[in-house]
Amino acid sequence: MKEFSATINGSPVTARDGMTILEVARENGIDIPTLCYSPELTLTGACRICVVEVEGSRTLVGSCHTPIAPGMVIQTHSPRVLDARRVTMELLLASHPEVCIVCDKANMCDLRKIAADLDVGLPRFRLPKHYFPMEDVSPYITRDMSKCIQCWKCVKACSEIAKKNVYGIAYRGFKSKVVVDFDDQPMDKEVCRDCGICIPFCPTGALCKPSPVRQAKTARPLVITGTAQQ
């Protein structure tokens, strides 16, 4: 495979034909945040958190899907790049429910980790939030679509790795949503038994393993027996 050189953050790097900017950066120990990218899945390029500055390019480019080219001069953490990532993160958080304290992934999800790295706290923007009922009927997966950022990793993990195609994308614009079947029932799929491959791919608390407390509640209703003492 043909090798060539480029420059990232002022240092020369060696790249190979077909590599993306992100791959070369990571190979050289440079951390670029990603939300919709996974090396195990095909590319989506949906979240824009991975943008970098390329000399000569008018706009910032997504590093996860832009091939690196010979002689490219790239900045991964310039003020312009960091500003753009912060705005993207603020927009994501502005439409995200403020329930992290009671989320199964608590403040430990990728979204919150990247927000903390970018020093993003309360978003400046006010956007309508998506509220959907919690889907906790399935004994294998709990879905809370209010927390979904539409990275599509669950859709791809399910179809490309598990080969099950449980999820699909439906609706348009603000109403766009990851759905199961015709989106008319909460998720309850036997096909997900012994799978759950989508859960670790989810960068938020939208997909979680069912909590034992919730499972116990649905499995065994509380029955109080005996008589009160006089």
Least separation in angstroms between residue 215's CB and ligand FES is: 33
SS3 103: coil
Q: How far apart are the first and last CA of the chain?
A: 86
SS3 219: helix
* Closer residue to ligand FES (CB): 84 or 180: 84
Binding mask 90-109 for ligand FES (x = CB under 6 A): --------------------
Residue (of 99, 88, 104) closest to 129 by Cα position = 99
- Residue 76 CA to residue 27 CA, distance in Å, equals 14
* Closer residue to ligand FES (CB): 85 or 180: 85
* 201 binds ligand FES, rule: CB under 6 A: no
Binding mask 28-57 for ligand FES (x = CB under 6 A): ------xxxx-------xxxxxx-------
Site for ligand FES in 60-89 (CB under 6 A): 62, 64
- Residue 117 CA to residue 33 CA, distance in Å, equals 9
* Closer residue to ligand FES (CB): 147 or 153: 153
- Residue 72 CA to residue 23 CA, distance in Å, equals 14
- Residue 79 CA to residue 14 CA, distance in Å, equals 25
Size of the site for ligand FES (CB under 6 A): 12
Least separation in angstroms between residue 6's CB and ligand FES is: 18
- Which residues in this chain contact ligand FES in the complex, by CB under 6 A? 34-37, 45-50, 62, 64
